[in-house]
A and B are shown apart, each in its own frame.
Chain A
Amino acid sequence: MPLYLNDEQQMLRDTARDFVAEHAPPAHLRQLRDANDTNGFSRDLWKQFAEMGLTGILIPEADNGLGLGHVEAGIVLEEIGRNLSPSPFLTTAVAAVEALKSTPHAPRWFPGILAGETVAALAIDESPKHNGRIAMQAERAGNGFRLTGAKRFVAHGHVADLILVAAKTDRGTTLFAVPNDAKGLTATPERLADSSLASHLAFEAVEVDADAVIGEVDQGGTLLARLLAAGRTGASAELLGVGGGAMDLTNAYLKERKQFGVPIGSFQALQHRAAHLYSEMEVARAAVLKAQQRLDSGQDASEAVAVAKAMSGLATTLAVQEGIQMHGGIGMTDEYDIGFYMKRARALAELFGDANFHADSLAQAAGY
């Protein structure tokens, strides 16, 4: 499989690019923020994603989805990133779908996702840094389990119809599908720097039936790994979009802004930095496509996924930093979009583990 997009994937990219830019450009985010929206995204837009078939991109054809892969999901995510569109696409249509696929939960939740009615949230993290450790306990109780503990950084946690929760059980990890109205569950949404909302979730003896278990008891590690691989690869693609969008804005500005009577883009000092940034972004792009292709072909993708998340985080961080600096003072104003890119990049870089976390995991895998 050559490491570039084939013709069909390029067509999907063109379609997704037009659709997202038209319906959810950066102005859409600005509008939600200025209105102090408490939902975190537009339900109407989520419906439109569904009408385009995009919410079913990873859902198998047998379940009425498009049956496409992570390359295609990434194409959509990159456009979401480029436009800073607030959307539950990554958590719901990518990470949750991957975890639910081929389990008895698939027929329960996929129709709602396909219809653009269901939103899923991922209750994975318990500390300010993703560290892979789970303290939350799920004890057997009655016909099911009793969940006690806390989760944080749960995007859409306060409005999600379905919350995927990772918890410790007797002999391993178990993944639960918890409805948002479960008794004892409270969600406290917090506004983040990028204007999105992520919740602190408190589970006080939340009782769920045995059929809330996704897959099998104690065997959730495999599903969680699948969820995380999809989430990390998807977040990498969205990061590419954020970095690429910031780079495009900046390059346009370099061509238009004049100082000393000439466009500032004619200065070699800035040209070299722009060219270096381009190189970093291209290398990150290759790493992300590599991870997507490996996931889609069923090959071991753990190393490629770690490289993709770390590299896209590093490159996009540089893209937004250079974006602000090269815009000069105007880049610091709320009126210009470049600052929004910086804030979204930071949030996505933390999601599912930052560059340091993934570099560390590579080092451990290599035995040092």
Chain B
Amino acid sequence: MNQDLDQFRQETRAWLEANCPPSMRLPLRSEKDATWGGRNPIYAHPDQKLWMERMGARGWTVPDWPKEYGGGGLSAAETKILREEMAAIRARNPLNSFGISMLGPALLKYGTEEQKLEHLPKIARGEIRWCQGYSEPNAGSDLAGLQTSAEDAGDHFIVNGQKVWTSYADQADWIFCLVRTDKTSKQGGISFLLFDMASEGVSTKPILLISGNSPFCETFFDDVKVPKSNLLGELNKGWDVAKYLLGHEREMISNMGAGGIDPLVEAARKGVDPILRGQIALFQVRARAFAAMSERFIDELKAGRAHPAQPSMMKYYGTELNKIRHELLMAAGGSDALEWESEASIHGAAARAWLRTKANSIEGGTSEIQLNIIAKRILDLPS
């Protein structure tokens, strides 16, 4: 067994060495360097496409998914080795995707065979970019209060309503969407639909944020026709799917606090005052400890030993940590980090990233909601 794993590690190392372009081993300079794929992909560098395709062809964008759905069919131990070897050469993530981190796990658990075969391979190869239709203007932390309706029209649904904070809806090809199919029950009247953003009646409008960017959109549905075969899970039981998916979303968001503290160390090496140096060092303690926590969480998850509410802890801690990290980066950068448009600042990458992190503890369930969940479901504190 261990011998097999050693061999797998050696082969993986050799393959990555031969196939990961040098430019894909450099840190992301700004959000634009990330690869999202999709029908109309945007690449800041041609190597992004190459790297995504090479990894996709091996199923290594989703190493632990079954091979028949475009995955790599790797065991938990092999997946861990792949992750370690990628980290060792600082390989970039070949594909950022809500399909991989959020919808995929839900499809694997709740999807029909047809749905899995239709959607999963395209997610794995980065051909279809997904967005998430959860929040509404009056359904944020109280998500189950959502009003977007899907009416039964025989072989299809007619969807009407509005979503908000839909990340990258203007660039997404498909949406996974929570809709109300029964008005008499709050959580028991929600269904989970998949549909094409090119469908008639779908429109999006970017929301300009304090970072000067618009990753979020308002999304409107006006008599959108959705085939009934696009229902994921059972009718009126979408809340179960939504909760399952939220666990994976929280897991994904929590990863932000983990690795990549290098820019901070780099800034500290250039010289900062002793008090800031101390703050950075103490932050480094927490960031390293949280990296261990992330590893433990993934190991426990794979072994089915994680508490079902543990993603809330990961989400809470990881996002709060990420906010602190960017505060420290701004402090270490000084006036250089404030430049908003200069070439030297890569068009204000540091400042824009800092501002972006302020949403980390709001999106995907606020920190306060996560703390409520920990208190009630893990610590069993009274209502």
Q: Which residues of chain A have a CB within 8 Å of any CB of chain B? A: 2-4, 251, 254-255, 262-263, 265-266, 268, 270-272, 274-276, 278-279, 282-287, 289-290, 303-304, 306-308, 310-311, 314, 355-356, 358-360, 362-363, 366-368
Contacts and interface: CB of A to CB of B under 8 A. Distances in A.
The 4 closest A-B pairs by CB, nearest first: A271-B375, A287-B289, A275-B374, A368-B268
Contacts of B383: 266
Contact of A263 (B277, B300, B378, B382): B382
Interface in B302-350: 302-303, 305, 313, 316-317
B33 interface: no
B153 interface: no
Contacts of B305: 4
B382 A265 contact: yes
Given A271-B381, A278-B379, A363-B277, A3 B292 contact: yes
Interface residues of B, number: 42
Contacts of A251: 379, 381
B292 to A, nearest CB: 4
B288 interface: yes
Nearest to A308: B289
Interface of B: 76, 265, 268-269, 272, 277-278, 280-282, 284-286, 288-290, 292-293, 295-297, 299-300, 302-303, 305, 313, 316-317, 368, 370-372, 374-376, 378-383
B292 A359 contact: no
A263 B375 CA distance: 14
A279 B316 contact: yes
B368 A272 contact: yes
Nearest to B288: A307
B281 A359 contact: yes
Given A255-B381, A265-B382, A275-B371, A314 B285 contact: yes
B74 to A, nearest CB: 15
Nearest to B305: A4
Contacts of B313: 275, 278-279, 282
B300 A4 contact: yes
Contacts of B372: 268, 271-272, 275
Contact of A311 (B289, B302, B303, B316): B289
Contacts of A356: 278, 282
A289 B374 CA distance: 22
Contacts of A368: 265, 268-269, 272, 277, 280
Contacts of B374: 275, 278-279
A7 B2 CA distance: 19
A366 B296 CA distance: 24
A64 B299 CA distance: 34
Contacts of B269: 366-368
A363 B296 contact: no
Contact of B293 (A274, A278, A282): A282
Contacts of A287: 288-289, 292-293
A265 B81 CA distance: 43
A283 B293 contact: yes
A132 B89 CA distance: 34
A6 to B, nearest CB: 10
6 contacts: A2-B302, A282-B293, A286-B289, A290-B296, A303-B288, A308-B289
A263 B382 CA distance: 7
Given A274-B381, A368-B268, A4 B296 contact: yes
Contacts of A308: 289
Nearest to A256: B382
Q: Most chain-A CB neighbours within 10 Å: which of B76, B289, B299?
A: B289
A284 B375 contact: no
Nearest to B262: A366
A367 B380 CA distance: 44
Contacts of B285: 306-307, 310-311, 314, 355, 358-359, 362
B282 A355 contact: yes
B284 A366 contact: yes
A70 to B, nearest CB: 15
A359 B274 CA distance: 13
Nearest to A309: B285
A175 B251 CA distance: 47
Contact of B286 (A303, A311, A367): A311
Contacts of B282: 310, 314, 355-356, 359
A254 B371 CA distance: 16
A3 B371 contact: no
B286 A265 contact: no
Contacts of B293: 282-283, 286-287
A230 to B, nearest CB: 19
B289 A274 contact: no
B292 A289 contact: yes
Nearest to B268: A368
A274 B288 contact: no
Nearest to A368: B268
B278 A366 contact: no
B284 A266 contact: no
Contacts of A367: 265, 269
A40 B372 CA distance: 43
A239 to B, nearest CB: 13
Interface centre among B286, B376, B380 (most CB of A within 10 A): B286
